[in-house]
Amino acid sequence: MHVRSSLIELQSYVPGRKVPGAVVLASNECPYGLLPDVASRLTELTSGLSRYPDMGAGRLLEALAARHGVTTDHIAVGAGSSEVCGQILHTVCTPGSEVVFGWRSFEAYPILTTVAGGTPVQIPLRDHVQDLQAMAEAVTERTRLVFVCNPNNPTSTPIGETALRAFIDQVPEHVLIVIDEAYHEYADPSAVPDALALFGDRPNVVVLRTFSKAYALAGLRVGYCVGAPEIIAQVRKAQTPFSVSALAQEAAIAALQEHEEVARRVALTVREREHVTHELRALGYDLPTSQANFLWLPLGQNSTAFTDHCLDNGVIVRAFAGEGVRVTIGLPEENSAFLALAKAWRTRI
């Protein structure tokens, strides 16, 4: 069998661990369960699951279009924003195409780029933040797409409006800029601009959003992008047929109506985020200010040992070997369990 050498050499995506009985702070999930209207709607739908879902997700597109003040031809959906990333890459990449992004950033970017036949171009972060100037300078005639994750996963750091505007103005108009706003709901608007509001009229800017985080639908897989109709029409062609299930579509529609509950949960997470940040700094940890639902501990060579220390004591966090540890903000009691282990670690080193 002839298998692409680029795939053989590619590392697979590593999901967060799941250990029965452990506190899971590794996958940036919402800890509060399904939104009430979502849970109610799902119980009504089980009898229809023997049928295919609406492949075009018409009702969901209408709900999203109403939310963002655009027409439905500006929106493409997929099974989570990860699939939408893949759809966009398959739309613009050909053999030899380059895709630029900061590194470290979302782990799926280099994987999805390589699967689409493109070449990842990873630009080192500066002080845990994407170096937009270096990213702009890395754009060549082979560049087809640039990813900007804002706030960045896993470092939790934002890019402000002034820097983002300057970057978008600097990138050639034929290069697609994908602004990944998976954690948009958790960010302070004064620190992280709404890319849809600022750049929705730019033909080479596409904005990614997801229902997996603040909307608590990580297990049902719904994501979408908003952009110019000319590019969205092509992105839709790259979607796996029927990838967004009937349950996922209806859950997302219901979730969009839960404005107050989503805002309440986000506020709880942000409050816990500030508390955990304060406590970690008081313990002597040096970490950037987060604008997401997770924190970044740049522990370098101690990252794996710290993660093992937590796992041995029933708390799962995410190590990026040799770089740092990503810690999701969970329920107050889960965060307290983590802080106790972080304190114990400081006494060991």
Q: Is 6 inside a domain boundary?
A: no
Written as one letter, the residue type at 124 is: P
Question: Cα separation of 123 and 127, whole Å?
Answer: 13
Q: Is 132 inside a domain boundary?
A: yes
Ramachandran quadrant class, 80 (left: phi over 0; alpha: psi -120 to 50; beta: rest): left
As a 3-state breakdown, the chain gives helix, strand, coil percent values, each rounded to 5, of 40, 15, 40
Give the pLDDT score at 62. 98
SS3 184: helix
Give the pLDDT score at 3. 67
Q: Give the burial class of 301: count Cβ atoms within 10 A of its Cβ; 0-12 exposed, 13-18 middle, 19 or more buried.
A: exposed
Question: Cα separation of 164 and 312, whole Å?
Answer: 41
DSSP 270-325: HHHHHHHHHHHHHTT---PPPSSSEEEE--GGGHHHHHHHHHHTTEE-EEETTTEE
Q: Taking the mean position of all CA atoms in its chain, how far away is CA 72?
A: 23
Residue owning tokens 């890395």: 138
Give the pLDDT score at 349. 65
Mean pLDDT for back-to-back runs of 10 residues, the chain (349 residues) = 73 77 94 94 81 95 98 98 97 95 98 96 98 98 98 98 97 97 98 96 97 97 97 96 96 96 98 98 98 98 97 97 98 98 90
Q: Is 317 inside a domain boundary?
A: yes
Residue owning tokens 């402000």: 160
Do 182 and 98 lie in one domain? The reply is yes
Nearest to 213 by CA among 274, 300, 294: 294
The count of residues in the chain is 349
Do 135 and 243 lie in one domain? The reply is yes
Give the pLDDT score at 10. 76
Q: Is 188 inside a domain boundary?
A: yes
Do 61 and 184 lie in one domain? The reply is yes
Do 290 and 183 lie in one domain? The reply is no
Question: Cα separation of 146 and 151, whole Å?
Answer: 15
Q: Whole domain around residue 333: which residue ranges?
A: 11-33+259-348
Nearest to 171 by CA among 142, 137, 127, 195: 137
Do 172 and 317 lie in one domain? The reply is no
Where among 256, 282, 303 does a domain terminate? Answer: 256
Paired sense of beta strands 318-320 and 324-328, if any? antiparallel
Based on the structure, what is the number of domains in the chain?
2
Paired sense of beta strands 143-149 and 176-180, if any? parallel
Do 264 and 231 lie in one domain? The reply is no
Where among 256, 273, 290 does a domain terminate? Answer: 256
Contact 325, 307 (CB under 8 A): yes
Question: Cα separation of 192 and 290, whole Å?
Answer: 11
| CB count in 10 Å sphere of residue 315 | 25
Where among 256, 278, 301 does a domain terminate? Answer: 256
Give the pLDDT score at 44. 85
Do 199 and 243 lie in one domain? The reply is yes
Do 80 and 163 lie in one domain? The reply is yes
Question: Cα separation of 135 and 265, whole Å?
Answer: 35
Q: Record the tokens describing residue 322, joined without a space.
A: 């040799």
Q: Record the tokens describing residue 195, joined without a space.
A: 């890319």
Do 164 and 221 lie in one domain? The reply is yes
Contact 255, 63 (CB under 8 A): no
Q: Record the tokens describing residue 119, joined without a space.
A: 């070449």
Do 103 and 229 lie in one domain? The reply is yes
